[in-house]
Amino acid sequence: MSDGLVIDQLKKNQILDLLKEGKRVDGRQFDEPRKLTIDIGVIPKAEGSARARLGDTEVVAGVKVQPERPFPDTGDKGMLICTAEILPIAHPSAETGPPQPPVVELARVTDRGIRESGMLDMKQLVLEKDKSVIGVFCDNAVTDHDGNLFDACSYASTAAINACKIPKYEMQDDAPVKIEGEFTEPPITTLPVSVTMAKIGDFIVVDPTIEEWGIMDARITITTNSDGNVVALQKGGSDGFTQEELIKCSEMSIKVGSKIREIIKQSK
Amino acid sequence: MSKERKRHVIPGEVITSGPYRAEQNTIQVGDNIVSTIVGLSDVHDGSVRVIPLTGGYVPKDDDLVIGKIVSHSSLSWTADINSCYVGMLPASDVFGRDYSSSSDDMNSKLTKGDLIAARIVNADMTRDPLITISGRELGKIDSGELVKISPNKVPRLIGKRGSMIQLIESSTNSQVTIGQNGLLVVSSEDPNGLLKAIQAIELIEEQAHVANLTDQVNEMLESKSE
Amino acid sequence: MGGRDTDIVLLDENGIRCDGRKVNETRKVTIKAGVLKNANGSAYIEFGDNKILVGVYGPRDVHPKHMSDTDTGILRCRYHMAPFSVGERKNPAPSRREVEISKVIKEALEPAVMLKEFPRTAVDVFMEVLQADGGTRCAALTGASVALADAGIPMRDLVAGCAAGKAADAVILDVNNEEDQAGQADLPIGYMPNLKKITLLQLDGVLTPEEYKQCIEIGIDGCNQVYEIQKKALQDKFFASGEKQ
């Protein structure tokens, strides 16, 4: 999937003309995200799942929980790994094969947003220190691409992990054994929510559509937690932001983020 | 031969059997004429065809299409005609035969992003279809917004004897040039009229299969104050 | 084929299987056509607890160009399982099993699709298994046919998929995951219902010649049942009530 979709100068001028009049192509306000719907439990056999629809962008996140050997230097913590993939059904230019840099970026930003927020208290996901811990894997599959995959994956992941169930395990002869039918609630500490903003000329718009994404000069994704603190940042695109713009962006991400957080909370 | 009722068919379904000619979107299997797509079967004068409800645009000779210039060589322009094949517009169509044009000449007439109203000249699929812009009502389109709909919704957009498209044009003060390939150009002096016209077109695309579509369109055009 | 020892009773004395079905019953199948915005054609299928999303693009340009055929369009298929689709999380990279199934499904669809009208193009079929519960290749094939019809790709017939098999010494229709693990044979079938031809056939397990015949017969019956659901999915999308004729 090429990051810079080829949108011609004509279209860029049209969008800029509208922005100068304070309008966006789809009639939204500059700080207005598209309609978000979240359905949890769409993959009942997984330990957690959610489908997020942000406008016409759709992402399915599935959570698998299984015992793992801990990382050598963190034997007292469980594991949390998030991934993201743009499925070839999502867009005509989506490719199969090893992930291209934009997809790798999407996966890593999604992972950092969830992990760095401390969403799950990893200390509570240990079965036996240094030997066996609980691994939580949240895999995002983009099924329809209409722009802003960063936020769609963030919302799907947060919703799926928030609503997952951790199976109960018992150590028998040094090996973890699952106790069928018994589960615990995940140790949730906060709900991270990302907000992505595109800079087009001197204008900043929240939740760019695929058209706005194609002509933007730069973008920034800001992830905040339930306390309104900033837990992750990613700037992209070939232009830069001024200091003032960055402050404005952080304020928007806290404001918009808290509304999105309510939607995620309601979904459980 | 009696004219049979139009029927909904899917790929593989038998439409009829007997001495009929299998035409568009049908094949002969033994004695049966079978549909190859989702559509409406039409038995008529000893031949059977299926009117498609699906699929992209397949270039046919003499179709009027809207195209968007994407590139050019020294001999021709290439146009996106909303099909899996691109339209080839030979330089000679614009400059006349035996004129060898330079890149500057080419760009002065038509450049990347320009919209054209063209006719399909030769839709032989072993190479990209040839198009022409020399003819009445053909040529470069100077202004307007390009809108894309599914090609099989075009008849619904035009309406009986053009009634649907005339309704939209008159109530929004706009002009719509319709290509058989599902590409349209909408232009208007009034930007609100332009927006409304486009919304009406999108409504038709979404609701083409519904019986009271004309009422819905009327309602939509009348609502929303200026 | 597992043939594993299991506590699950695959077939009880009343002829009822572990999920409550009789030997000649398929699981519940639902299909919705046209579920994705970007794909030219799409379908979502639930076949028992299998959940599969299929998207079709095409006919479209082939890259690299040397892969295209000047005489005909080509069909490309990709069967892929999401990491969260199975019991133990699966690595997202394609496995050899997925590569083989992709090929087998392609060869099940090729007799049906008519691509000679679109030389130098490709039709891409992408099948994503979101949740797996035995018989995914038949379900994926079934969904793929509907997605191809939704995209307007001309076809001689649809292809319906259903597996037959053997468990607890009985010939059964539509093998689920437990039966696949602990049973004695699994025979996936792909079938063109109007042309009456089998285009996908594999076997994992051991069958006597008589059981083989029975499996094919019961499997074709299953495919015919699945075909009715495929028809309904297309009718629901394109021929909805209130339609103008």
Grouping H, G, I as helix, E, B as strand and the rest as coil, residue B11 is: coil
Q: Which residues of chain C have pLDDT under 70?
A: 1-6, 241-245
> Is residue B1 exposed (0-12), middle (13-18) or buried (19+ Cβ within 10 Å)?
exposed
In this predicted complex, what is the ipTM?
0.90
| CB distance B100 to B93 below 8 Å | no
Displacement of CA B54 from its chain's centroid (Å): 13
Q: Which residue of A has its CA nearest to B199?
A: A26
With an 8 Å Cβ cutoff, are A85 and C92 in contact? yes
Binned at pLDDT 50, 70 and 90, residue A12 comes out as confident
Chains that touch B (3 or more CB pairs under 8 A): A, C
Q: What is the pLDDT of residue A2?
A: 33
With an 8 Å Cβ cutoff, are A145 and C38 in contact? yes
pTM of the model: 0.90
Cα separations in angstroms, C54 against C24, C114, C148:
27, 19, 9
**Token couple for A127:** 């079965």
Q: Which amino acid is at C230?
A: Q
Residues 120-179 of B with CB under 8 A from C: 125-126
| CB distance C183 to C195 below 8 Å | no
Picking from A57-61, A63-67, B132-136, C214-218, which range would have the lowest pLDDT averaged per residue? B132-136
Interface contact A145, partner C, CB < 8 A? yes
Distance from CA of B225 to the nearest CA of C (A): 30
Interface contact A96, partner C, CB < 8 A? yes
CATH for A32:
3.30.230.70
With an 8 Å Cβ cutoff, are C150 and B54 in contact? yes
Q: Judge whether C148 lies within some domain.
A: yes
With an 8 Å Cβ cutoff, are C158 and B125 in contact? no
Distance from CA of B114 to the nearest CA of C (A): 22
With an 8 Å Cβ cutoff, are A137 and C92 in contact? no
| CB distance C42 to C58 below 8 Å | no
Q: What is the pLDDT of residue C218?
A: 97
With an 8 Å Cβ cutoff, are A87 and C57 in contact? no
Q: What is the pLDDT of residue C4?
A: 58
Q: How many domains does chain A have?
A: 1
Grouping H, G, I as helix, E, B as strand and the rest as coil, residue B2 is: coil
Q: Smallest Cβ distance to B11: which of C58, C157, C243?
A: C157
Kindly list the residues from chain C whose CB atom is less than 8 angstroms away from the CB atom of residue A139.
Answer: 82-84, 89, 92
| CB distance B134 to B96 below 8 Å | no
Closest by CA position to B182, among listed B203, B152, B204: B152
User: pLDDT 10s per residue in chain B (226 long)?
Assistant: 445 678 999 999 999 998 999 999 999 999 999 999 999 999 988 999 998 988 889 899 999 999 989 888 888 999 999 998 899 999 888 888 767 667 668 888 888 888 899 999 988 777 789 999 998 889 998 888 889 899 989 988 998 899 999 999 999 999 999 999 999 999 888 888 888 899 899 988 888 777 788 888 888 888 754 4
Q: Judge whether A3 lies within some domain.
A: no
> Is residue A32 exposed (0-12), middle (13-18) or buried (19+ Cβ within 10 Å)?
middle
The pair phi, psi for residue C26, each rounded to 5°, is -90, 165
Kindly list the residues from chain A whose CB atom is less than 8 angstroms away from the CB atom of residue C89.
Answer: 64, 66, 137, 139
With an 8 Å Cβ cutoff, are C60 and B54 in contact? no
Q: What is the pLDDT of residue B225?
A: 44
Q: Judge whether A4 lies within some domain.
A: no
With an 8 Å Cβ cutoff, are B55 and C238 in contact? no
Q: Which residue of A has its CA nearest to B143?
A: A10
Interface contact B11, partner C, CB < 8 A? yes
| CB distance A197 to A224 below 8 Å | no
List the beta bridge partners of residue A84: A140
Q: Judge whether C18 lies within some domain.
A: no
Q: What is the pLDDT of residue B128?
A: 87
pLDDT in tens, A139-166: 999 999 999 999 999 999 999 999 999 9
Q: Judge whether C183 lies within some domain.
A: yes
Chains that touch A (3 or more CB pairs under 8 A): B, C
In the predicted structure, residue A182 carries a pLDDT above the cut 90: yes
**Dihedral (Cα; C224, C225, C227, C233), 10-degree rounding:** 170
Q: Smallest Cβ distance to B126: which of C58, C119, C235?
A: C119
Q: Which amino acid is at C156?
A: R
Q: How many domains does chain C have?
A: 1
Q: Which domain holds residue C33?
A: 29-237
| CB distance B132 to B121 below 8 Å | yes
DSSP secondary structure letters along A230-253: EEEEEEESSS---HHHHHHHHHHH
**Token couple for C198:** 């089998």
Q: What is the pLDDT of residue A203?
A: 96
The DSSP letter of residue B4 is: P
Q: What is the pLDDT of residue C125?
A: 98
Q: Judge whether A2 lies within some domain.
A: no
Distance from CA of A11 to the nearest CA of B (A): 10
List the beta bridge partners of residue C129: C52, C81
With an 8 Å Cβ cutoff, are B54 and C70 in contact? no
> Is residue C74 exposed (0-12), middle (13-18) or buried (19+ Cβ within 10 Å)?
buried
Q: What's A177-193 look like in SS3?
A: EEEEEEEECCCECCCCE
Interface contact C195, partner B, CB < 8 A? yes
| CB distance C163 to C174 below 8 Å | yes
Kindly list the residues from chain C whose CB atom is less than 8 angstroms away from the CB atom of residue A66.
Answer: 88-89
Kindly list the residues from chain C whose CB atom is less than 8 angstroms away from the CB atom of residue B8.
Answer: 235, 238-239
Cα separations in angstroms, C56 against B183, C127, C152:
22, 9, 10
CATH for C175:
3.30.230.70
Q: What is the pLDDT of residue C221?
A: 97
| CB distance A178 to A168 below 8 Å | yes
Kindly list the residues from chain C whose CB atom is less than 8 angstroms away from the CB atom of residue A95.
Answer: none
Q: How many CB pairs under 8 A join A and B?
A: 4
Distance from CA of C17 to the nearest CA of B (A): 34
Q: Which residue of C has its CA nearest to A66?
A: C88
- Tell me the Cα Rg of chain C: 18
Binned at pLDDT 50, 70 and 90, residue A75 comes out as very high
With an 8 Å Cβ cutoff, are B54 and C149 in contact? yes
Q: Judge whether C243 lies within some domain.
A: no
Q: What is the pLDDT of residue A5?
A: 42
Q: Which domain holds residue A102?
A: 9-267
Distance from CA of C190 to the nearest CA of A (A): 23
Distance from CA of C74 to the nearest CA of B (A): 13
Closest by CA position to A146, among listed A200, A85, A212, A98: A212
Q: Judge whether C13 lies within some domain.
A: no
With an 8 Å Cβ cutoff, are C152 and B40 in contact? no
DSSP secondary structure letters along A182-233: EEE---B----EEEEEEEETTEEEES--HHHHHH-SEEEEEEE-TTS-EEEE
State the average pLDDT for chain A. 93
Mean pLDDT computed over A102-123: 96
Q: What is the pLDDT of residue A1?
A: 32
Kindly list the residues from chain C whose CB atom is less than 8 angstroms away from the CB atom of residue A178.
Answer: none
Residue for token digits 């409800």? B53
Residues 32-91 of B with CB under 8 A from C: 34, 36-38, 40, 52-56, 58, 84-85
Residues 7-46 of A with CB under 8 A from B: 8-10
Q: Judge whether C22 lies within some domain.
A: no
Kindly list the residues from chain B whose CB atom is less than 8 angstroms away from the CB atom of residue A10.
Answer: 113
Interface contact C239, partner B, CB < 8 A? yes
Distance from CA of A57 to the nearest CA of C (A): 9
Kindly list the residues from chain B whose CB atom is less than 8 angstroms away from the CB atom of residue C70.
Answer: 126
- Rounded-to-5 percentages of helix, strand, coil across chain C: 30, 30, 40
Phi-psi region at A66: left, alpha or beta (left = phi > 0; alpha = psi -120 to 50): beta
Q: Judge whether C89 lies within some domain.
A: yes
Q: Judge whether C5 lies within some domain.
A: no
Q: Which domains does chain B have, with CATH numbers?
A: 7-52 (2.40.50.100), 64-141 (2.40.50.140), 145-222 (3.30.1370.10)
